[in-house]
């Protein structure tokens, strides 16, 4: 289906879905309450398989508590550091993920 054939409401639903905003959170539990030991620039592994560096630490509009925005070495992420039109950090497409 061509993008010209999609109405504005459907396009917005797709954008929110891609950003992970349409799906409710599986839990309201804050996974990492102690972010004091994390630093921007620090090397990390996400889920034990995705290597990258922390590019952002702070509160976000789409989850409770502080989150880390990760610049991944490989294009296996979900975003470019922007979620729902809000830029948290800047990286290449598919190189960003929040954890």
- Rounded to whole angstroms, the Cα distance separating 21 from 61 reads 10
What is the per-residue pLDDT across 45-62, written as a single tens digit (0 to 9) for each?
A: 888 899 999 999 999 988
Instruction: Decide: pTM greater than 0.85.
Output: no
How would residue 13 be classed by pLDDT, with cut points 50, 70 and 90?
low
Query: Do residues 81 and 87 lie in contact, with contact meaning Cβ atoms separated by under 8 Å?
Result: yes
- pLDDT the model gives residue 25: 46
* pLDDT higher than 80, residue 86: yes
């Amino acid at each position: 289906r061509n993008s010209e054939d999609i109405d504005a409401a459907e396009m917005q639903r797709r954008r929110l879905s891609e950003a992970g905003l349409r799906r409710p959170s599986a839990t309201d539990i804050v996974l990492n309450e102690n972010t004091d030991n994390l630093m921007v620039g620090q090397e990390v592994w996400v889920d034990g398989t995705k290597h990258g560096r922390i590019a952002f630490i702070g509160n976000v509009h789409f989850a409770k508590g502080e989150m880390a925005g990760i610049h991944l070495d490989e294009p296996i992420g979900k975003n470019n550091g922007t979620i729902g039109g809000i830029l948290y950090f800047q990286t290449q497409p598919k190189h960003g993920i929040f954890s």
